[in-house]
Structure 1
């Protein structure tokens, strides 16, 4: 087996080949599909190609994969020999990649399929549009702050009431014109966001996994789709702990020699956007009664509010792994609320409103239904508190009598 290492740049890639004990420089390859295919056509199906993870690495894999036995993408965060080398050239970088792979020490990156890649691109586009809209609001707020205008009394400064208040403020003509430009750009981005969410909603309606994740409190269509895009096939994670580590929600560990292990902050490795969405979902989940809120209260009493929210996010990640692996819905799902989520999903996808008709989400409009679901969640929360009563930090259980005496 021959190993070809490629150091990828914007316009070219430097390639070297390890053939037994020989190191052969193959030269530069132009970064176009035609030149990459012509280069790979000279190789055999027993050859392996190694590239570093870059923005165009996926396109390189698609161009050369039909001609070779395997294409591997290296994890740049873990290839320290390249990043810390004192003598660094393209040939050396490609050689290090090839030698690491040939010796079996190359940290690889999972290559998603086309469906997952398309979903990831759509999620990224939506995230970019949301950030741009937030940036425009920040620019408007900066203009108001510069002219000592008090804070907007309305929740959304870009909403109808917020705009009416905004345009009524006494500002210089150039600042008023700038605010109007920002609002026009905000409206354009809002329309783009509506189109992107309609496409994501249509994909979500056809996905049983997305609907299953929406049974978890705090998770809506945006969070469910973002998690599935980041995770990909769940069977590539053999345990919930591996999924938690992939999302960067596991604590860092420092241990050497006979000294005890010291656990620090979470590693924050992996997809940042998915981790952020999980924390936001955790804040929403703990607002309603249920086992997650009981878990949050138990951790908050020992570690504080923010640590407890991250712990709930980690707990949700574990639940996500079990639901996707077993193909089951969340045990404490609120049926009326879940039906409302699905109906909102249908409306986002562009389906007609059907006003005046009782749809699947009608039960959520009834106060009695919401109260019954809330009472069910309160019973589950109480059951979790009884289960964990007397638990200590190390996992041992204090007898009930001792815990009662401690409270007295």
Structure 2
């Protein structure tokens, strides 16, 4: 098994557990530049030059140490749901920062190599793209929440507050979209964004969001990217009695999955992939199943367009 290090990260500190050659060591560090240097020195003292470091995607608290240590070691940022399910499989009942770091290290040590996607170092433009994309997603979610409150509101005062909040959020969303557009038209990200925007039903904003995810992690295959988006079917078929309908797995980035929904709807309406859609319709697949299949197809195409550095080729996917 591989040498592994698990990090449990909070706003001001992070706990580390290293499992090197079967020996377990733990320590705690400040989540700042000084702490990063101390963590690096600690790993050097342990002699783990080939360790794989894993951490959960918790807010943005992990980014500092991930950026710093990612130039020296393999780093994977793991979906917290995977760690949670792993803890359940181990019947873990104790929950402390130190115990969580150990659990993450054990997952990192035993997981299959293909399940540990390597995080790419973030360049300046990529870092700004990541921040703006996260801000846009948060503002959009806040706006949706306010609209839902407005719809349920009965009191005049509450209605006015919700309407005011929605207007303010819409102005902010517009400003962020403008900043994203400027970033991807005046930087090294322009060509990559332009290529993704050649895919049918993928607008420039969606292309920007896709680029954020595709450039931030080194996905080895298109299937891994689709799985990251939560667009992998979950099969429930066991013995003679269990025959559940396939459904999308919960293991995935819900924001990326939601982002692909409207483009998939547009692609379905304009018949962007006529042969593909016709085959699914011939099998009497429900519309929502077809939309989910198109979402996955768009994710796979986006991966290949980005990976190969080539514009979308309609002849390649016409009959796919």
TM-score, with normalisation over the residues of structure 2?
0.75
Work out whether 1:217 is the aligned partner of 2:200.
yes
State how far apart, in whole Å, the 2-side matches of 1:18 and 1:222 are. 42
Q: SS of the residue aligned with 2:44? A: coil
- Equivalent of 1:185 in 165, 169, 172: 165
Q: SS of the residue aligned with 2:234? A: strand
Contact 1:8/1:51 (CA < 8 Å) preserved in 2? no
Displacement of 1:96 in angstroms is 3.9
The verdict on how the C-alpha distance between 1:130 and 1:4 changes in structure 2, with shifts beyond 3 A counting, is closer
State how far apart, in whole Å, the 1-side matches of 2:150 and 2:110 are. 56
Structure holding more strand per residue: 2
State how far apart, in whole Å, the 2-side matches of 1:82 and 1:210 are. 39
Work out whether 1:126 is the aligned partner of 2:109.
no
- Equivalent of 1:61 in 39, 45, 66: 66
- Equivalent of 2:93 in 70, 81, 86: 86
State how far apart, in whole Å, the 2-side matches of 1:182 and 1:104 are. 46
Contact 2:210/2:302 (CA < 8 Å) preserved in 1? no
129-138 vs 210-219, which deviates more?
129-138
Q: Which has the larger radius of gyration?
A: 1
State how far apart, in whole Å, the 1-side matches of 2:195 and 2:203 are. 11
Work out whether 1:295 is the aligned partner of 2:276.
yes
Contact 2:52/2:108 (CA < 8 Å) preserved in 1? no
Contact 1:230/1:271 (CA < 8 Å) preserved in 2? no
Contact 2:200/2:272 (CA < 8 Å) preserved in 1? no
- Residue 31 of structure 1 corresponds to which residue in structure 2? 31
Query: Per-residue CA shift, 1:141-195, capped at 9, x if unaligned?
Result: 334xx4xxxxxxxxxxxxxxxxxxxxxxxxxxx71x5444433333322221121
State how far apart, in whole Å, the 2-side matches of 1:330 and 1:19 are. 45
State how far apart, in whole Å, the 1-side matches of 2:22 and 2:227 are. 37
State how far apart, in whole Å, the 1-side matches of 2:306 and 2:220 are. 11
Specify every segment of 5 or more residues in structure 2 that has no aligned partner in the other structure, as ranges: none
TM-score, with normalisation over the residues of structure 1?
0.61
- Residue 169 of structure 1 corresponds to which residue in structure 2? none
- Aligned Cα root-mean-square deviation (Å): 3.8
Contact 2:70/2:120 (CA < 8 Å) preserved in 1? no
Aligned residue runs from structure 1 range 247-396, under 5 A:
247-254=229-236, 264-288=246-270, 290-293=271-274, 295-301=276-282, 302-332=284-314
State how far apart, in whole Å, the 2-side matches of 1:133 and 1:180 are. 15
Work out whether 1:14 is the aligned partner of 2:32.
no
- Residue 167 of structure 1 corresponds to which residue in structure 2? none
> How many residues are treated as equivalent by the alignment?
303
Work out whether 1:204 is the aligned partner of 2:184.
yes
Which is bigger in relative contact order (C-alpha 8 A, separation at least 6)?
Answer: 2
State how far apart, in whole Å, the 1-side matches of 2:290 and 2:117 are. 31
